[in-house]
Chains A and B, each alone.
Chain A
Amino acid sequence: MEDITPFLLSLLSKPGISGYEESVSEIIADRWRPLVDELTISPLRSLHGLRKAATNERRPTLMIAAHMDAIGLMVKTINHGFFTITTVGGIDPRVLPGQLVTVHGKKELPGLVQLMPDRLLNNETASKAPTKNQLFVDTGLTQKELADLVKPGDLISFAQPPFEMTGGYIAGHSLDNRASVAALTLCLEEIKNYNLDCNVVAAATVQEELHGIGAATSTFSVRPDLAFAVDVTFAKGPGSNDYRTFSLGEGPAIGLGANNHPALTQKMTSLAEELDIPYFIEAMPTSSGTDGMAMQITANGIPTQVLSMSLRYMHTSVEMTSLKDIARTGRLLARFITDLNPDSFSKLFEEKTL
């Protein structure tokens, strides 16, 4: 199997902010084209890659979905060459000072998010945690040099280039959720030479960071018999050590709780045991906070399972995850697919009741 790292690094070098995913969608499409039978784009611009069963008979359809959009910023106002900003998706304003960004105006301009120096603030606002309204973007260019290059509504993406860490880890912006896109890609590669007894739709969905919009619409179109939402979850790290967090690089997390169909949770757990893939059970008492939420309640209801890779520093420019966990997730999905046929599908739901 090909090393997924170069592809992942290229995914992490693209903006693809929610609602504007084309830049990342294009390179996913190029990579998936030889791996699927049909590649289509939904009205909201999610990418669907279909692997057909090796028969014309009716076969169950499995959807594996990972959102490809990323959080970002947007120009709100322009004031003496500086831009005030708003956020697209959930970003902690406290991680923004000192972030290099790209301003997507008429041309792409390097910029820097910063906060007002204390000496220009009053006692109530100085030295405080920065809020969205106090931050601005500086391109280093004067209002005159900027001319009409930038207007309110222009997108601003993180410019931090991705980089490899020691011993099989990677850091960069938008590993949430392009790590999962990489896992889906590995899965498609692994099943490439198999004759399938089920249909598989790999979906790179849009606008997850704005409430699973792509996942809801894609699931409606595909109307799968069962679905996996592949996403990232929290790794243990500074200030992050409770039940919601998992040791980084020590296996994917299999969701358990209302958003997950118990039969699928059970099946994934036994597959992981069988394949000797380390895993965690991720307790999801109410909501998974992933595409799985929207997928499960689509049409007349879709049995759904959430599968996650743990990641440190979610929603920052230096998210960090494990290449090994990406590969493990891809393998788990591939094995589930090659095991799936009409018989195993009906057995899956025979004994389990909700």
Chain B
Amino acid sequence: MSPQTKQVLRVGKAQLDLLEELTNANGVSGNEIEIREIIRKKVAPFADEIKVDGMGNLLVIKHAKKPNAIKVMLDAHMDEVGFMIVEEDGDGLYEFEHVGGGDERQFVSKPVSVGSQKLPGVIGSKPIHLASEDEMNAVISQQGMRIDLGPAGKGKAKRGDYAAYATKFIRSGDAIFAKALDNRLGCATLIELLKTAPEHIELLAAFTVQEEIGLRGAKVAAYDFYPQMAIAVDSTPAFDFERPDGNENTEYNCKLGGGPAIYIADRGTLSDPRLIRFLTQVAEENKINYQYRQPGGGGTDAGALHLTRGGIPSVSVSVPGRYAHTAVMLARISDWQDTLNLLQQALAAWTPEILSGDRA
């Protein structure tokens, strides 16, 4: 294995400030412009080429300084789950649809930020005092909720406006509470990796759109870049709780504090075994905390990446996070640090031999 990289990336104040800026900003699938503009400014000093493609993906290239360099694509989706205003009811109340996968039990009583003007709103429903016993036993359905801009918000939002949770970033020790950690953690990771791109790699960083509604941005970004291998960097849910029935939790997916979760198999992708072996080896040799995400459902942009053109060897590496697709996610700084270390060391240690053998 080649020597370790000299400048080790650290999650310090600057990195946490970056993550705070990225998570407080809004980028519901289909409306990623605010995130894209933040990232564009952040990567400008390190990038050789920056462009925005026809779908809104931000494609950033850091050229290799050595000949015959391998083209490595790093992918992180910029979009987050959220809402779209679909109908005005009058009195500042708006009917909405959820954009992306979500559980309607999580929607109610949250502040939201509506439209490009970021109008303050809340998601409201009938109060407990007026609910019947039958209603109390039933899930509050999305149809029973409204996005409320207050009576003076009448006519202020229009059909098609996006709304995002208005959660503000909080740090508590090693814990972080924020919205959209899925996948601003991935975006922040790519921004950091661009700073220390090794000379023997043609680094192709794609900040993609519309992952939450079907991996749409990644598909065209991978086509454009046509890399020799790809890594999707994302956040994956940690279901690391004690089961209420007392049985062993065998479906935790991944665990907070367990380090980067390397994907083996999900609904859409069988990760390239050579890349799994390689990442494992890098983690072991550098004594980086890591875990395998439990094989099963779910998916990342890798589902689109590996099927592009004639096929691209791909793997996913995710920072574990609890409560994905809700108003407030929870992650650990140490897991992000370990993810950053693993990916940085993996890029540094890359050799062409890794993909020269057969896949399995």
Contacts and interface: CB of A to CB of B under 8 A. Distances in A.
B124 A238 contact: yes
A134 B245 CA distance: 11
Interface in B90-110: 91, 93, 105-106, 108-110
A79 B249 CA distance: 15
A60 to B, nearest CB: 34
A125 to B, nearest CB: 7
B330 A112 contact: yes
Contacts of A163: 111, 120
Contacts of B108: 94-95, 316
Interface string A261-278: 000000000000000000
A97 B106 contact: yes
B277 to A, nearest CB: 29
B237 to A, nearest CB: 8
Contacts of B242: 79-80, 82
A300 B145 CA distance: 46
B241 A117 contact: yes
B223 interface: no
Interface string B240-283: 01111100010100001100000000000000000000000000
A164 B166 CA distance: 13
Contact of A110 (B93, B125, B137, B172): B172
B177 interface: yes
Nearest to B107: A98
Interface string B78-99: 0000000000000101000000
SS class, residues of chain A in contact with chain B: loop
A121 B249 CA distance: 10
Contacts of A19: none
A90 B106 contact: no
Contacts of A79: 242
Nearest to B111: A318
B127 interface: yes
Interface residues of A, number: 67
B10 interface: no
A292 interface: no
Nearest to B89: A238
B109 A99 contact: yes
B94 to A, nearest CB: 10
Given A238-B93, A313-B122, A314-B128, A142 B257 contact: yes
A151 interface: no
A236 B91 contact: yes
Contact of B105 (A120, A129, A168, A317): A129
Contact of B127 (A142, A240, A242): A240
Contacts of B125: 95, 238-239, 313
Contacts of A247: 91, 151
Give the residue among B120, B145, B148, B326 with the most A Cβ atoms within 10 A.
B148
B128 A145 contact: no
Interface string A71-113: 0000000011010000000111011011110000000011010
A95 B109 contact: yes
B130 A120 contact: no
B172 A117 contact: no
A236 B172 CA distance: 38
A115 B129 CA distance: 22
A336 to B, nearest CB: 27
A315 B152 CA distance: 22
B120 A165 contact: yes
B145 A238 contact: yes
Contacts of B331: 140
A237 B93 contact: yes
B100 to A, nearest CB: 15
Give the residue among A128, A142, A236, A318 with the most B Cβ atoms within 10 A.
A318
Contacts of A286: none
A116 interface: yes
Interface string B113-157: 000000111111111111100001111100011101111110010
A22 B106 CA distance: 32
Given A116-B244, A165-B149, A317-B109, A109 B124 contact: no
Nearest to B324: A117
A320 B122 contact: yes
Contacts of A43: none
B322 interface: yes
Give the residue among A110, A236, A244, A245 with the most B Cβ atoms within 10 A.
A110
A171 interface: yes
A292 B2 CA distance: 78
A58 interface: no
B144 A313 contact: no
Interface in A220-260: 234, 236-240, 242, 244-245, 247-249
A127 interface: yes
Contact of A167 (B138, B151, B239, B257): B151
Contacts of A237: 91, 93, 124, 126, 146, 148
B128 A315 contact: yes
A329 to B, nearest CB: 17
B171 to A, nearest CB: 8
Nearest to B244: A116
Nearest to B327: A98
A344 interface: no
A142 B241 CA distance: 12
A240 B126 contact: yes
A129 B127 contact: no
A282 interface: no
Nearest to A113: B328
Contact of A316 (B109, B137, B153, B173): B109
A160 interface: yes
Contact of A112 (B119, B150, B174, B323): B323
Nearest to B153: A166
Given A129-B105, A238-B124, A315 B175 contact: no
Contact of B119 (A90, A95, A166, A315): A166
30 contacts: A94-B140, A97-B105, A97-B326, A98-B106, A100-B177, A115-B105, A116-B244, A129-B138, A140-B173, A140-B177, A141-B172, A163-B111, A165-B149, A165-B153, A166-B120, A169-B151, A236-B91, A237-B148, A238-B93, A238-B144, A238-B146, A240-B126, A240-B127, A244-B130, A248-B91, A313-B109, A315-B127, A318-B123, A320-B122, A320-B148
- Shortest 4 CB-CB contacts between residues of A and residues of B: A167-B152, A140-B175, A239-B126, A92-B128
